[in-house]
Amino acid sequence: MQSLISQWLEKLGEDPSREGLRNTPQRTADAWAYMTRGYQQDPVQLLQSSLFETDANHMVIVRDIEIYSMCEHHLLPFFGVCHIGYIPRGRIVGVSKLARLADIFARRLQVQERLTNQIARSLMDTLEPEGVGVVIEARHLCMIMRGVEKQRSQMITSAMLGSFHDSVATRNEFLHLSRQGAGA
């Protein structure tokens, strides 16, 4: 990867041997390994490592989970927050695992639409809850610093499965609670 980064710098018209760039190929390779570490992590194993039996059947929500990802179209970052909710059916998962699940999928080359669905589907398939809702609000540097250059643009995606899809009341409760206190 370091050799490719050196070649890329040369194609940009830079000298990879100049003082400021001498270690850039190594630093860039390390950064990309970190930013795409989700490929080396198993979301099912993560969730199964922290399942607990329960009779709870009320909505569980974790909101404002910070996410950082890389757009697969331009290799530029997008970042924002993820809200995850589910209604247990006999099992819950450790709360930190919801944030880690979002991170596993975000730390891959992505489009926000797929990222949202992957988080929801993984929870639904592994936890088998009554329903799952995921909303992601993100800003994309491919829109902010290039192309249309719309500085305040934000993309919002949602995935609603099970009762979150089938019941308007359940979906509305999740959407209301995930927005409550936003910006606080």
Catalytic residue numbers read 71-74, 112, 140, 142
The upper half-sphere exposure of residue 165, i.e. CA atoms within 13 Å in the direction of its Cβ, equals 13
Q: What angle do CA 45, 49, 51 make, to 5 degrees?
A: 115
Q: Residue 47 and residue 43: Cα distance in Å, rounded?
A: 6
Torsion of CA 179, 180, 182, 184, to 10 degrees: -170
Q: Residue 28 and residue 2: Cα distance in Å, rounded?
A: 8
Please give the backbone phi and psi of residue 43, each rounded to the nearest 5 degrees, phi first: -65, -35
Q: Counting Cβ atoms within 10 Å, is residue 130 exposed (0-12), middle (13-18) or buried (19+)?
A: buried
Which among 8, 95, 3, 97 is positioned nearest to 48, based on CA atoms?
97
Tokens of 117: 């669905």
